[in-house]
Amino acid sequence: MQKERNRPHDEPSPAPCPSPGYQTEIVLAITRLVCALPPAAASLQVSRVPNHPEWPEPYFLVRPANPRAASFGGIAVADDLHLLVGQCEREIFGFGKGGKTVPGSAWAEELRAIWQAVIAGGFVERRYLNSRGEVIGGATKLLVNGQELVLQSGRRAERLFGKSIVQDVRYESYL
């Protein structure tokens, strides 16, 4: 009986504990963006970083109802944003100060512009596969207010020599 109670995966994950200011505001901004979509177009999950319940920073993940649309997520740490779109990611240092992606704009405007690019779809994620067909890396480019935002993950090749196996995935609109 004692053994059963001490299993960590049975305990509910604690709620995030965002710092006042940017971290709290980004969760509210994401919630507003998702609520502005038509009902059932996407679902929002806000929690602590998966597999790191000791980290208080907020993690958010928007899952579109359209399975061919890209998910949109991130982690707000200090004034940085670790952005996830589909299977690719990018850490935007100082995002909370604004002007990183769209020069001269506030972070909320930048977030809205990135969000608009993601929910509009039409962009391609290039996935790199290993010899077993498993995804080992990826890259995508979003056009955000005329600026290219590049997101990447993993690696491009399983080995130094030989052909890379590449798969292009075109994401569709949320709506």
Residue 160, pLDDT score: 59
Mean pLDDT of 47-64: 86
Residue 75, pLDDT score: 93
DSSP H or E run through 123: none
Mean pLDDT of 14-35: 85
pLDDT surpasses 50 at 11: no
pLDDT surpasses 80 at 174: yes
Look at 4-13, 60-69, 80-89, 119-128 and tell me which has the smallest mean pLDDT. 4-13
The predicted model scores a pTM of: 0.83
pLDDT surpasses 80 at 16: no
pLDDT surpasses 90 at 33: yes
Q: How far is CA 35 from CA 55, 72, 163, in A?
A: 27, 14, 44
CA atoms within 13 A on the CB side of 40: 0
pLDDT surpasses 80 at 110: yes
Question: Tokens in use for 131?
Answer: 């010899």
